[in-house]
Amino acid sequence: MRSPRRLGDRLFSSGALAAGLLILVVLAAVAIFLVAQSLPALTAGGTDLPAGFTSFWSYVLPLVFGTVWAAVLALVIAVPLSLGVALFLSHYAPRRTARALGAVIDLLAAVPSVVFGLWGITVLAPFVQPFYTFLSAAFGWIPLLAGPVSGTGRTILTVAVVLAVMITPIITALTREIFLQTPRLNEEAALALGATRWEMIRIAVLPFGLPGMVSAAMLGLGRALGETMAVAMVLSPSVVVSFFLLRSENPTTIAANIALNFPDSYGSGINVLIATGLALFVLTFVVNAVARAVVGRRGGGKGL
């Protein structure tokens, strides 16, 4: 026997369906726009491109590299920091401290990136420059840290630090929520076996939170990949592939490159920039797909 469906149920389910479809439509529209506008650029010759580049691919490759490089550096800094803070908030701090600190972190997540960019130029870069000089002098034999050191401190490493500060709050907030959801039963199982607090975290909290930790990191990575203002403001851009962290010639990112060059572009130059945007779109897509695969293989679905 079929029970008659209530009006509320029907409204809600069609509303949800419409919302879901809308997202797909918007995504498709963006993709179509990007592809259509990019096609001319893919075959563009020397005259359409900025000076010194012979094909579109030689132009976009360093940009993709710079984007990934900056985001990965940021993630390397941000993830351990975020996990540490999240664990402190969920399992070490007294409840009142945790609540106050949590509120501060949520606030940090809401600061616009222009502000972080300004902070990067005016405060962070001059502050870290002497450290960079020291680092290069002491550990210059490590290729990453080789000189000559930038005199302004405005290097890819500074950008990575700014990006890390930007994505730390979101990763922290997400992972803290996940850690708090660890089943009490599993935590007590560990403690009752004679685990110390850290061991309890290692055998009960972290395995439970792993899929969520990966998702949170990927969300942070996604934000870092697409970040425009902070990078555009801090770096004096050049389109190069360079792993050096402390030199004054640094790779720039796709988003920052578009923001800096779009105002002066016309004709096929615009198509070239849009095509780099398509590359960013694909990149973000791939990152998300990889993240999903990682989470899925762990038999997850827990956490986020």
Q: How far is the CB of 219 from other proteins (least distance, A)?
A: 22
- Residue from the set 208, 217, 221, 234 that interacts with other proteins by CB under 8 A: 208
Ramachandran bin of 52, using left for φ above 0, alpha for ψ from -120 to 50, beta for the remaining angles: left
Pick the closest to residue 181 from 253, 90, 251 (CA basis).
90
- Residue from the set 186, 248, 265, 268 that interacts with other proteins by CB under 8 A: 186
Selected range binding other proteins among 67-75, 157-165, 202-210, 263-271, rule: CB under 8 A: 202-210
Q: How far is the CB of 290 from other proteins (least distance, A)?
A: 21
Selected range binding other proteins among 34-42, 149-157, 186-194, 275-283, rule: CB under 8 A: 186-194
Selected range binding other proteins among 5-13, 49-57, 187-195, 248-256, rule: CB under 8 A: 187-195
Selected range binding other proteins among 8-16, 119-127, 199-207, 266-274, rule: CB under 8 A: 199-207
Side-chain half-sphere exposure of 108, counting CA atoms within 13 A: 19
What's 238's DSSP letter?
Answer: E
Q: How far is the CB of 197 from other proteins (least distance, A)?
A: 9
Pick the closest to residue 101 from 176, 213, 209 (CA basis).
176
x/- mask, other proteins, residues 12-51, rule CB under 8 A, reads ----------------------------------------
Cα separation, 88 vs 93, in Å, equals 6
Q: How far is the CB of 78 from other proteins (least distance, A)?
A: 25
Pick the closest to residue 220 from 122, 77, 29, 16 (CA basis).
77
Which helix or strand (DSSP H or E) is residue 3 part of?
none
Burial (Cβ within 10 Å: 0-12, 13-18, ≥19) of residue 99: exposed
Q: Could you say whether residue 203 binds other proteins (CB under 8 A)?
A: yes
Q: Could you say whether residue 273 binds other proteins (CB under 8 A)?
A: no
Q: Whose Cβ is closer to other proteins: residue 94's or residue 267's? A: 94
Instruction: Name residue 24's amino acid.
Output: L
Tokens standing for 76? Answer: 């390397």
As beta bridge partners, residue 237 has 250
Q: Could you say whether residue 185 binds other proteins (CB under 8 A)?
A: yes
Site for other proteins in 107-146 (CB under 8 A): none
Cα separation, 177 vs 67, in Å, equals 29
Q: How far is the CB of 87 from other proteins (least distance, A)?
A: 17
x/- mask, other proteins, residues 81-100, rule CB under 8 A, reads --------------x-----
- Residue from the set 14, 45, 188, 238 that interacts with other proteins by CB under 8 A: 188
150 phi/psi in degrees, rounded to 5? -60, 140
Tokens standing for 218? Answer: 């990927």
- Residue from the set 79, 128, 171, 204 that interacts with other proteins by CB under 8 A: 204
Cα separation, 8 vs 169, in Å, equals 38
Residues that bind other proteins (CB under 8 A): 95, 183, 185-186, 188-196, 199, 203-204, 207-208, 210, 299
